[in-house]
Amino acid sequence: MGILKVDRLAVLLASAALATAPLLFDNTYAIGVLTVALCFGMWSASWDFMSGLTGRENFGHSLFIGAGAYTAGFLNVQFGLSPWWSLAAAPVCAVLFSLVIGIPTLRLKGPYFALAMLSGAAVMQNLTIIFSKYTGGQDGLNGLDPMLDSPLAYYYLVLIFLIVSTIILKVVANSTWGTILRAIRGDEASCQACGINVNFYKIASLMISAAFAGLGGALYAHYQLQVGPDLFAIVLSINIIIMVYVGGLGSIYGPVGGAILLNVLTESLRAFSEYRLWVYTLVLIFILFFMPQGLIAPLWRRIRSFVA
């Protein structure tokens, strides 16, 4: 088997596994946990596309998530539009936000860029709380309509979006685009010297990253049926970075696996009651310390080398 065929088979198998997973449990709780995991998968994959490839770590990814989610909230709750409009409007809004924060921060690198993005998200979070009359403040916007009545059907909808998004992002990452983005990570000056419009690629990758994050935000909003300032929080951005890292930086599909793994893990540790987060952090330290390349992507590469 050639490398490409193995990958396609893997995608099919993974999709099949994710498609049958909820049927094994068949209760709203499990379906809900998996739906949330899929949303985190979209957020992680979109983060990896920009930050994993270009090396510009974005500590404010929640800005795009919150933008998408609140767009869904406003359209549905304030204006009474059907939830399906969110799917189109959320990515657009997120992309607008990415332009507002992305253009002024183009020349920033490393921790400077990270901090600028983090501040952007923090500013939005503060604004949503201060202008509570319009945004519902700390409690957020409530009573969003679900897109589909059956949680299981909605799970499949989100799954389809996730698979398609991941494939698109992976294909772009493997194309010339991806090579250029990785080159920018290596040596920006050389790229510029070669005549590549580095700024264009930086902004474009941020916009793409934002679009998918916003879309994920809207899907999440119509699952949770509520949006709040916690969707702009630093903690959310950092959790996503952890998921990407566990999955394998730069692989696009690895972060999806990392997101699903960590989300399911957090919930399955409920048996530990008040020790839940403690055990979770312990597992995290374990993974971060012993598997600095991540868990999912290196594992898949190992399997692939046996098969192909």
Partner 1 sequence: MRKNLLVSSMLAFALTITFGTAEPAMAQQAKPIRIGVNTAIQVQVGRDAIDAVKMAIDEINGQGGVLGRKLEITVADEGEAATEGPKVGIAAVNKLTSDEHVDVLIGGYDSGVTLAELPHIARAKTIFLGIGSASPSIQQKVKDDYERYKYIFRVNPINSAKQAKALLNFITGKLKDDLGYTKVSILGENAKWVQDMVPAIKKGAEAAGLQVPIAEFFDVQTADFSPIFAKVKSSGSQYLIVIISHAASDVFVKQWYDAKVPVPIGGIDVKSMDANFFKRVGGKSIAEVSANFVLRAPLTPKTIPWWDKFVSLYKRAPVYTAPGAYDAVYIYADAVKRAGTTKADAVIKELEKTDYIGTRGRVQFDALHEVKDGPGFVNELFVQWQKNGERVVIWPKELANGKMINPPWLAQK
Partner 2 sequence: MVQILVYGAVISAIYAMLAVGFTLIFGVARILNLAHGSFYALGAYGVYTFTAVAHLPLWLASVLAVLFVAVFGMAMERVLVRPLRRSMLAVLLITLAVALMVEQVLLLVFGSEARNVPSMVNATYHFAGVDISAQRLLALLGGILILTGLWLFMQRTRLGSAILAISQDAEAAQYMGIPSDRIYSIVMGLSAGIAAAAGVLVAPFQTVIPGMGLLPLVKAFAIVVVGGLGSIPGSIVGALLLGYTETIIAFKISIEWSQIVSVAAVLITLILRPAGFFGKRAAF
Which of the ranges 2-10, 92-100, 170-178, 287-295 carries the binding residues for partner 2, by CB under 8 A? 287-295
**Residues of this chain that bind partner 1 (CB under 8 A):** 27-30, 32-33, 36, 126, 129-130, 132-133, 136-140, 142-143, 146, 224-226, 228, 230-231, 233, 235-236, 266-267, 270, 273-274, 276
Residue choice 14, 115, 264, 269 for contact with partner 2 (CB under 8 A): 115
Phi, psi of 227 (to 5 degrees): -130, 140
Q: Which of 9, 16, 130, 164 binds partner 2 (CB under 8 A)?
A: 130
Backbone angles phi, psi at 109, to 5 degrees: -130, 165
Q: Is 193 exposed, middle or buried (0-12, 13-18, 19+ CB in 10 A)?
A: exposed
Does the protein bind partner 2 through residue 81 (CB under 8 A)? no
Instruction: Count CA atoms within 13 Å of residue 8 on its CB side.
Output: 5
Least Cβ distance, residue 136 to partner 1 (angstroms): 6
Which of partner 1, partner 2, none binds 224 (CB below 5-8 Å, type-dependent)?
partner 1
Residue (24 or 189) nearer to partner 2, CB = 189
Distances in whole angstroms, Cα of residue 18 to Cα of each of 4, 128, 229, 243, 244: 21, 35, 30, 18, 19
- The DSSP symbol for 56 reads -
Contact in structure between 47 and 240 (CB atoms under 8 Å) = yes
Q: Which is nearer to partner 1, 28 or 190 (CB)?
A: 28
**282 interacts with, out of partner 1, partner 2, none, CB within 5 to 8 A per kind:** partner 2
Which residues, including other chains, have CB under 8 Å from residue 17's CB and lie 6 or more apart?
none
Element (H, E) at 91: helix 84-102
Q: Which does 112 bind (CB under 5 to 8 A by kind): partner 2, partner 1, none?
A: partner 2
Quick one: which of 29, 53, 19, 15 has its CA closest to 180?
53
Residue 27 DSSP class: S
Q: Are 90 and 71 in contact (CB under 8 A)?
A: yes
Strands (E) in the chain, as ranges, are: 141-142, 226-227
# residues near partner 2 by CB under 8 A? 36
Site for partner 2 in 32-71 (CB under 8 A): 57
Query: Contact region for partner 2 (CB under 8 A) — 17-25, 85-93, 101-109, 251-259?
Result: 101-109
Q: Determine how many CB atoms are found less than 10 A away from the CB of residue 284.
A: 16
Of the listed pieces 9-17, 147-155, 161-169, 233-241, which binds partner 2 according to CB under 8 A? 233-241
C-alpha 2/C-alpha 13 separation (Å) is 17
Binding status of residue 152 toward partner 2 by CB under 8 A: no
Applying CB under 8 A, does 265 fall inside the site for partner 2? no
The smaller minimum CB distance to partner 2, of residues 57 and 257, is found at 57
Phi, psi of 144 (to 5 degrees): -65, 150
Across-strand partners of 226? 142
Answer for which of 9, 127, 148, 307 binds partner 2 (CB under 8 A) is 127
Answer for the pair 158, 39: CB distance below 8 angstroms, yes or no.
yes
Pick the closer one to partner 1 by CB: 29 or 286: 29
Taking the complex as a whole, the smallest distance from the CB of residue 213 to partner 1 amounts, in Å, to 16
Residues that bind partner 2 (CB under 8 A): 57, 104-105, 107-112, 115-116, 118-120, 122-123, 126-127, 130, 234, 238, 241-242, 245, 249, 274-275, 277-278, 281-282, 284-285, 288-289, 292
